[in-house]
C-alpha cells in the first residue's frame, strides 16, 4: 500500500508539472506572437533540438553513455534558461529513466517531442517483423518510415502516439527525423495535430542518406506527394512546416560526400569552434534573410557528452547572450511551427547570405529559396557563378510514396538545372558569366570589390557586383523568376552569356526559348521570359544562355511543367 501510494503521488506530481509546462508554453507562444511587429518583420530564430535514443549498437555501455549525455544537456540549458525541444525515439520514450528526467528536470518553456527513427520495440509493438540485427539500426529501409508500406507507416504512428500520450498526457506537437515520408507526415498532421517537423540538412552519402536540391535552409511546406519537395499551392501542401536541421555552412557544406561542416558541436572545425560559430551566427543575424532567418542547434545524444560538451557549452553561452541582446529568438520547434503557420499560408521566400569567409580565402555566397526554386551564388577567386539551381514541383511523387523502400540507402532529390562543386574540389562547375565582344571574342567576367546584397520587398533579393572591366552584373531573385543584367557605367547593356560548365546531366533538348531537363520523375522545362535571352546548344554539347540586346537574361521558374 505504501509503495502504491508513493507511485500515485509521483504520478500526480508529474501530471501537475506537465500541465504547468503546457500553460507556460501557451504564454510563451503568445509572447512570441507579440514579438512579431513591424520592427521585427524578419526574426532570426534558433531552435535548440536534442533528440534522444536509448541505445546505439556502435557504442560500448551505450545506454549509460546516452543517458549521461542527455542528463548533462538538461543541466546545461536549464542553467542558461534556454528553451529546448527534447525529441524522444520510441525506445527512450518507454524507458522510465527518460520519462522521469523529462518530467521533473527540464525547463518550464521546454518542449517534449518525437524523434521518428524506428527501433525494434516500436516496430514489434505495431505487429511488424523486425529486420534489424540490433534493437536500433541506421539503415534507411529498417529504421526510417520509407522502409514500410503506407499502411504500416500509419500503424507505427498510431502506436507511438498512443504511448506518448500515455506517458505525457498529450500528443507531441512536433516530430523530427533525418527524413519522414509524406504519408506519415500528413497522417501525423491530420490525425494527431502536429504543428512542426524537421529533417536533415542537404548532404550527399552521409551515413547512407542523400538529400539534395531541397529548400536549403529555414522551412517549407512539403508536397502531399513528396515530403522533400516544397509545394507550390495550398491544395498541394501538408500544412506542417519542415525546418532544415543542423546549421549548414553556407559556403563549404555543399556537395561533399561524407564531409560535414555544420553547427553540430562535435565537429571541432565548425560547431565546436567558437570562431566558426561566431562567423556563422554573424551571417545569420547581420545579412538579409527576407521572411526570417533560422538555425538549429543542439546535438543527438549518440555522440556522448565528452565529445559534445566543450562545443555545446560554448554555444549555449553564446546563444543566451544573443537572446538577451534581442539578436535572435530562441524557441522550441513547436513554437516556431505555430508562428510559421500563422504568418505564412504558403512557403515564403528566404535567403541566407555570407559575405566573408572563415577560412580567409575570399569566398562569399548567397542562397535564395522560394516555393518554386532554390538558387545559390558563389564568389571564388574573383569569379561569380550560379553554383546551384533546382526547380520544385509538387506534382512529382516521391519514389517511396506508395511503396516500401527496399534499399538500405535513401536518396531524396528535387529537379536539378545547375549543380556545382564544393570550392575545395578545385573543379569548375556552375553557370559562369562570359562577356561577348563585337568580334566574337569571349572573356570571363571578373568581380572586383565587394558585392552589394540587399532585400527589395518581401520576396526579392538584389545582388550587384562591380566588374573589373567596368560596369556591374546585377542578379535579382524573385519568388518565381531570376533576372541577370549586365550594364556599363552609363546604364547601357552589354552582350554577354551564361555558360553552363561541368554539368554531368545537361538538358535533353534546347530551343531558343526553353531547355528541357530530365530526371527520374520525368522532364521539366526552364523557360526564358520573352525577349530576355536565348538558349543555345554549343558545339561541345554544353548549354549557353545569350542575353538580349539590353544585356538582360530572365528565367521564368514559377510554372511547373
Domain ranges of the chain: 42-348, 414-556
- Helix 62-80 vs helix 96-104: crossing angle, to nearest 10: 10
Please tell me the predicted confidence (pLDDT) of residue 41: 84
pLDDT at residue 23 greater than cutoff 50: no
Please tell me the predicted confidence (pLDDT) of residue 511: 95
- Helix 333-343 vs helix 2-35: crossing angle, to nearest 10: 40
CATH class of 42-348: alpha beta
Confidence of residue 40 (pLDDT cuts 50, 70, 90): low
Please tell me the predicted confidence (pLDDT) of residue 257: 66
Helix spans in 214-367 (H): 274-286, 305-324, 333-343
In eight-state DSSP terms, residue 425 is G
Instruction: Tell me the sheet residues that pair with 525.
Output: 516
Write out pLDDT tens, residues 220-277.
Answer: 999 999 999 999 999 999 999 999 999 999 999 998 766 789 999 999 999 999 999 9
Q: ∠ at Cα 383 (377, 385), nearest 5°?
A: 30
Give the whole-angstrom CA distance, residue 287 versus residue 461. 11
pLDDT at residue 27 greater than cutoff 70: no
Phi-psi region of 29 (alpha: psi -120 to 50; beta: other; left: phi over 0): alpha
Please tell me the predicted confidence (pLDDT) of residue 280: 98
Q: Nearest to residue 486, comparing CAs of 392, 550, 416?
A: 550
Residues ≥6 apart with Cβ < 8 Å to 236: 223, 224, 225, 394, 395
Average pLDDT score over residue span 266-294: 97
Q: Nearest to residue 395, comparing CAs of 420, 419, 415, 425?
A: 415
Confidence of residue 36 (pLDDT cuts 50, 70, 90): very low
Instruction: Tell me the sheet residues that pair with 379.
Output: 364, 384
Provide the CA 553 distance to its chain's centre, in angstroms.
29
Q: Nearest to residue 66, comparing CAs of 41, 38, 35, 98?
A: 98
Write out pLDDT tens, residues 147-160.
Answer: 999 999 999 999 99
Q: How many CA atoms lie within 13 A of 397 on its CB side?
A: 6
Q: Nearest to residue 318, comparing CAs of 527, 515, 77, 156?
A: 77
Write out pLDDT tens, residues 468-504.
Answer: 888 899 999 999 999 999 987 666 678 899 999 998 7
Placement of cell 494527431 in the chain: 192
Residues ≥6 apart with Cβ < 8 Å to 383: 432, 444, 445, 446, 447
Average pLDDT score over residue span 42-69: 96
- Across the chain, what does the average pLDDT equal? 91
Write out pLDDT tens, residues 76-128.
Answer: 999 999 999 999 999 999 999 999 999 999 999 999 999 999 999 999 999 99
Instruction: Tell me the sheet residues that pair with 473.
Output: 465, 486
Provide the CA 555 distance to its chain's centre, in angstroms.
25
* CB 119, CB 150: distance < 8 Å: no
pLDDT at residue 29 greater than cutoff 60: no
Of 41 and 388, which is predicted with more confidence?
388
Average pLDDT score over residue span 505-529: 91
Q: ∠ at Cα 91 (135, 100), nearest 5°?
A: 145
Give the whole-angstrom CA distance, residue 183 versus residue 150. 6
pLDDT at residue 329 greater than cutoff 80: yes
* CB 93, CB 167: distance < 8 Å: yes
pLDDT at residue 561 greater than cutoff 50: no
Give the whole-angstrom CA distance, residue 29 versus residue 436. 56
Task: Give backbone dihedrals phi and psi of 107, rounded to 5 degrees, phi first.
Answer: -75, 160
SS3 421: coil
Stated pTM of the model: 0.91
Least confident interval from 166-180, 435-449, 534-548: 435-449
Give the whole-angstrom CA distance, residue 419 versus residue 416. 7
Amino acid at each position: 500500500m505504501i509503495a502504491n501510494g508513493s507511485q500515485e503521488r509521483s504520478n500526480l506530481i508529474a501530471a501537475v508539472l506537465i500541465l504547468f509546462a503546457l500553460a507556460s508554453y501557451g504564454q510563451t507562444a503568445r509572447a512570441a506572437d507579440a514579438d512579431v511587429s513591424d520592427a521585427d518583420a524578419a526574426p532570426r530564430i534558433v531552435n535548440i533540438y536534442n533528440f534522444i535514443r536509448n541505445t546505439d549498437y556502435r557504442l560500448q555501455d551505450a545506454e549509460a553513455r546516452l543517458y549521461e549525455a542527455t542528463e548533462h544537456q538538461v543541466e546545461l540549458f536549464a542553467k542558461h534558461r534556454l528553451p529546448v525541444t527534447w525529441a524522444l525515439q520510441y525506445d527512450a520514450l518507454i524507458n522510465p529513466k527518460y520519462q522521469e528526467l523529462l518530467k521533473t528536470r527540464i525547463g518550464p518553456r521546454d518542449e517534449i517531442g518525437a524523434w521518428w527513427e524506428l527501433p525494434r520495440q516500436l516496430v514489434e509493438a505495431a505487429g511488424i517483423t523486425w529486420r534489424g540485427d540490433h534493437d536500433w539500426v541506421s539503415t534507411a529501409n529498417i529504421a526510417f518510415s520509407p522502409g514500410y508500406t503506407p499502411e504500416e507507416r500509419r500503424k507505427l504512428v498510431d502506436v507511438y502516439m498512443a504511448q506518448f500520450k500515455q506517458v505525457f498526457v498529450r500528443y507531441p506537437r512536433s516530430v523530427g527525423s533525418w527524413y519522414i515520408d509524406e504519408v506519415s507526415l500528413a497522417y501525423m498532421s491530420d490525425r494527431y495535430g502536429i504543428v512542426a517537423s524537421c529533417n536533415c540538412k542537404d548532404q550527399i552519402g552521409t551515413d547512407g542518406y542523400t538529400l539534395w536540391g531541397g529548400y536549403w535552409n529555414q522551412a517549407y511546406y512539403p508536397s502531399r506527394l513528396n515530403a522533400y519537395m516544397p509545394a507550390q499551392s495550398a491544395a498541394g501542401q501538408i500544412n506542417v512546416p519542415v525546418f532544415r536541421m543542423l546549421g549548414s555552412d553556407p559556403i563549404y557544406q555543399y556537395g561533399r560526400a561524407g564531409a560535414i561542416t555544420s553547427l553540430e558541436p562535435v565537429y571541432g572545425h565548425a560547431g565546436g569552434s567558437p570562431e566558426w560559430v561566431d562567423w556563422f551566427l554573424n551571417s545569420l543575424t547581420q545579412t538579409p534573410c527576407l521572411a526570417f532567418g533560422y538555425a538549429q542547434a543542439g546535438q543527438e545524444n549518440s555522440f556522448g557528452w565528452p565529445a559534445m560538451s566543450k562545443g555545446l557549452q560554448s554555444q549555449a553561452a553564446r546563444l543566451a547572450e544573443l537572446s538577451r541582446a534581442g539578436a535572435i529568438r530562441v524557441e522550441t520547434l513547436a513554437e516556431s511551427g505555430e508562428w510559421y503557420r500563422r504568418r505564412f499560408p504558403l512557403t515564403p521566400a528566404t535567403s541566407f547570405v555570407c559575405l566573408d569567409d572563415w577560412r580567409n580565402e575570399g569566398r562569399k555566397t548567397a542562397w535564395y529559396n522560394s516555393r518554386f526554386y532554390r538558387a545559390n551564388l558563389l564568389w571564388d577567386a574573383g569569379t561569380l557563378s550560379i553554383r546551384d539551381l533546382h526547380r520544385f514541383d509538387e506534382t512529382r511523387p516521391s519514389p517511396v510514396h506508395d511503396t516500401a523502400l527496399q534499399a538500405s540507402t535513401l536518396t531524396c532529390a528535387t529537379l536539378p538545372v545547375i549543380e556545382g562543386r564544393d570550392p575545395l574540389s578545385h573543379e569548375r562547375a556552375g553557370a559562369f558569366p562570359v562577356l561577348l565582344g563585337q568580334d566574337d571574342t569571349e572573356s570571363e567576367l571578373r568581380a572586383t570589390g565587394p558585392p552589394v546584397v540587399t532585400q527589395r520587398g518581401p520576396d526579392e533579393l538584389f545582388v550587384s557586383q562591380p566588374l573589373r572591366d567596368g560596369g556591374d552584373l546585377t542578379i535579382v531573385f524573385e519568388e518565381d523568376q531570376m533576372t541577370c543584367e549586365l550594364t556599363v557605367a552609363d546604364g547601357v547593356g552589354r552582350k554577354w552569356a551564361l555558360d553552363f560548365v561541368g554539368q554531368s546531366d545537361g538538358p535533353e533538348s534546347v530551343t531558343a526559348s526553353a531547355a528541357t531537363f530530365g530526371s527520374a520523375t520525368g522532364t521539366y522545362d526552364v523557360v526564358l521570359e520573352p525577349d530576355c535571352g536565348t538558349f543555345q546548344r554549343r558545339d561541345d554539347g554544353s548549354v549557353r544562355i545569350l542575353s538580349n540586346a539590353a544585356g538582360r537574361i530572365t528565367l521564368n521558374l514559377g510554372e511547373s511543367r
